[in-house]
Amino acid sequence: MASITAGVATSHVPAIGAALDNGKAGEAYWAPIFAGYDASKAWIAAEKPDVVILVYNDHASAFSLELIPTFAIGCAAQFAPADEGWGPRPVPIVEGHPELAGHLAEQLILDEFDMTIVNNMDVDHGLTVPLSLLFGQPDAWPCKVIPLAVNVVQYPPPTGHRCFNLGKAIRKAVESFPQDLKVVVFGTGGMSHQLQGPRAGLINRDFDIAFLDTLVSDPATQAKVPHIDYVREAGSEAIELVMWLVMRGALNDQVREVHRFYHVPASNTAVGHLILENRD
């Protein structure tokens, strides 16, 4: 039987990917950010997940305004890194897990989460930067990846509560899959940041730390926080943090916080990162 053993949350700032790809990871600006993931790389090398379900958002790469799925699950065998305007990132092709992804799509829809099924999709920095942060620069990603894209571009994204419950449904669906697979769920995006308008550059460290604390210890309460609070307190793009609730919903009520990292800034954004293991 497949099971979810742990969750990872991380920001997915594009400039982090660019720094790595352009050999700048050792520079004074970037080194502290990558150092925050050293323990994570060791942890995931020991954890050895067979599959990562990676919750992220597309940034007008695979989805324009022609089609805006609220929740989309990638069921293909492979996903190519997207060309985001300056050529695709030089990272490995992402190998999917079509059997588990198809099972998840079926079970989630029967559980009343009406997923959009995607059989052909390029994946942008929202998906590949978290892989780079956890796995570094390998010739091939060491596990299969199921992309789960959430709309956070056009308001409204799904509510935090809906995301949290989707995580719970994902767990049920994974646990009904007959193969023995170790699954880790990634929730990505955030933390505080605003990329647009005269208020660009907003960072709210207090909000971010409180979010990290509450997400770990009392996720049901965090799930009730409305969109307006994220936007007003932590910036228009901080609304991405609802995606962390999908990851949290897929774990036990009680979790063990294995690792935490918080850093300001990476370009325009506060970087946050958690590793949570299920506690029996």
Partner 1 sequence: MAENPFKDIPGTTLFDAEQSRLGYHLNMFCMSLMKAANRDAFKADEGAYLDRFPMTPAQKQSVLDRDWNGMLALGGNIYFTAKIAATDGLSFQQIAAKMSGVSQPEYAQMMLDGGRSVEGNRSKKDKH
Rg (CA), the chain: 17
Choices 20-28, 37-45, 129-137, 154-162 (CB under 8 A): range interacting with partner 1: 154-162
Based on the shown chain and the rule CB under 8 A, indicate whether residue 84 belongs to the binding site for partner 1.
Answer: yes
Report how far Cα 236 is from the mean position of its chain's Cα atoms. Answer: 18
Q: 57 or 165: whose CB is closer to partner 1?
A: 57
Is residue 173 within 8 A of residue 108, CB to CB? The reply is yes
- Which residues have CB under 8 Å from 94's CB, separation 6+? 78, 79, 80, 81, 123, 127, 128, 131, 141, 145, 147
* DSSP code per residue over 99-123: HHHHHHHHHHHHTT--PEEESS--B
Q: 132 or 236: whose CB is closer to partner 1?
A: 236
**Whole-angstrom Cα distance, residue 5 to residue 25?**
30
Catalytic site includes residue 103: no
Choices 19-27, 80-88, 106-114, 141-149 (CB under 8 A): range interacting with partner 1: 80-88
Q: 84 or 277: whose CB is closer to partner 1?
A: 84
Choices 35-43, 100-108, 250-258, 259-267 (CB under 8 A): range interacting with partner 1: 259-267
Based on the shown chain and the rule CB under 8 A, indicate whether residue 192 belongs to the binding site for partner 1.
Answer: yes
CA distances from 271 to 26, 33, 36, 134, 208 (A): 17, 8, 10, 14, 9
Based on the shown chain and the rule CB under 8 A, indicate whether residue 161 belongs to the binding site for partner 1.
Answer: no
- Which residues have CB under 8 Å from 243's CB, separation 6+? 55, 56, 57, 150, 152, 163, 187, 188, 189, 190
**Whole-angstrom Cα distance, residue 167 to residue 169?**
5
Residue 58 beta carbon to partner 1: minimum distance, rounded to whole angstroms: 9
- Binding partner 1 (rule: CB under 8 A), the pick from 70, 159, 268, 278 is 268
Which of 193, 227, 259, 263 is the catalytic position?
A: 193
Based on the shown chain and the rule CB under 8 A, indicate whether residue 199 belongs to the binding site for partner 1.
Answer: yes
Catalytic site includes residue 193: yes
Choices 104-112, 152-160, 161-169, 213-221 (CB under 8 A): range interacting with partner 1: 152-160
**What does the DSSP 8-state code read for residue 237?**
G
CA distances from 157 to 19, 160, 238 (A): 29, 9, 12
Site map for partner 1, 23-62, x if CB under 8 A? ------------------------------------xxx-
Q: 126 or 249: whose CB is closer to partner 1?
A: 126
Based on the shown chain and the rule CB under 8 A, indicate whether residue 197 belongs to the binding site for partner 1.
Answer: yes
Based on the shown chain and the rule CB under 8 A, indicate whether residue 93 belongs to the binding site for partner 1.
Answer: no
Is residue 246 within 8 A of residue 258, CB to CB? The reply is no
Is residue 19 within 8 A of residue 114, CB to CB? The reply is no
| Residues contributing to the site for partner 1 (CB under 8 A) | 14-15, 59-61, 64-66, 83-86, 153-156, 192, 194-205, 207, 228, 231-234, 236, 264-265, 267-268, 270
